[in-house]
Chains A and B, each alone.
Chain A
Amino acid sequence: AQSVTQLDSHVSVSEGTPVLLRCNYSSSYSPSLFWYVQHPNKGLQLLLKYTSAATLVKGINGFEAEFKKSETSFHLTKPSAHMSDAAEYFCVVMDRFGNEKLTFGTGTRLTIIP
């Protein structure tokens, strides 16, 4: 069975300061991990993905995440927040063998303070 825990339901940062969104996962197999972003009244956009290649993954808009197997974590970071980063962020896990089901975390709402 697979599961995801997003440790913060809401994160607020000032514009220009670093962003850290935390995610822990559980998976029976070698997982694929993703971060998706959802702006209000929009669908989900893929930010980045880990599929067992490099453990430090770079995504779009300056975001990156590090896969740490020993800690079962996949935290999302960005060095400098921008107003346009305000959105809901979802950490997602998928078992890699034969189970085409994404399991979503409950989401972290990111607020950017001007």
Chain B
Amino acid sequence: KAGVTQTPRYLIKTRGQQVTLSCSPISGHRSVSWYQQTPGQGLQFLFEYFSETQRNKGNFPGRFSGRQFSNSRSEMNVSTLELGDSALYLCASSPVEGYYGYTFGSGTRLTVV
């Protein structure tokens, strides 16, 4: 079956712009999480959605937001981009709860110039 699909794979944006990243989970998976990966901070949790509700949120500013649709697809949005937002953004999905393991997508590489 298809894995977790993230689009686009690469993005280049200018400071101050906003960006929307998309994630399609594995069919039947209802929990979707987002992570930011940078060389300096490593992998950090952004937020997790289940049945269109945000259940958990990491320590990121309000410029980072997300949502989940009724088909479990998820989007994350970053407004007023800063150079420090350059990172690999990873989406992960799980059937219901994550303690049996999340499946990750290949990520979206965002570069802010």
A and B interact: yes
Tell me the A residues contacting B by CB distance below 8 Å: 32, 34, 36, 42-46, 49, 51, 90, 94, 96, 99-104, 106-107
Contact B48 A101 (CB under 8 A): yes
Give the complex CA separation of A99 and B35 in angstroms: 15
- Contact in complex: B104, A43 (CB < 8 Å): yes
- A selection of 25 A-B contacts at a CB cut-off of 8 Å is A34-B101, A36-B104, A42-B106, A43-B90, A43-B104, A43-B106, A43-B107, A44-B90, A44-B92, A44-B104, A94-B99, A99-B56, A100-B48, A100-B50, A100-B56, A101-B33, A101-B58, A102-B33, A102-B35, A102-B43, A102-B102, A103-B45, A104-B35, A104-B43, A106-B42
A42 to chain B, nearest CB (A): 6
A29 to chain B, nearest CB (A): 10
Q: A43-B107, A45-B104, A46-B102 are in contact. Are A104 and B97 (CB under 8 A)?
A: no
Q: A51 vs B90: C-alpha distance in the bound complex, in angstroms?
A: 23
Q: Contact size class for B?
A: 20 to 34
Q: Name the CB-closest residue of B to A42.
A: B106
Alpha-carbon separation in the docked complex, A51 to B98 (Å): 11
Q: Considering only CB atoms, which chain A residue lies closest to B4 in the complex?
A: A43
Whether B103 sits at the interface, judged by CB under 8 Å, is yes
Known pairs A44-B90, A102-B35; list 5 more (Cβ under 8 Å).
A32-B98, A42-B106, A100-B33, A102-B102, A104-B43
A43 x B105 contact (CB < 8 A): yes
Query: CA of A90 to CA of B31 in the docked complex: distance in angstroms?
Result: 21
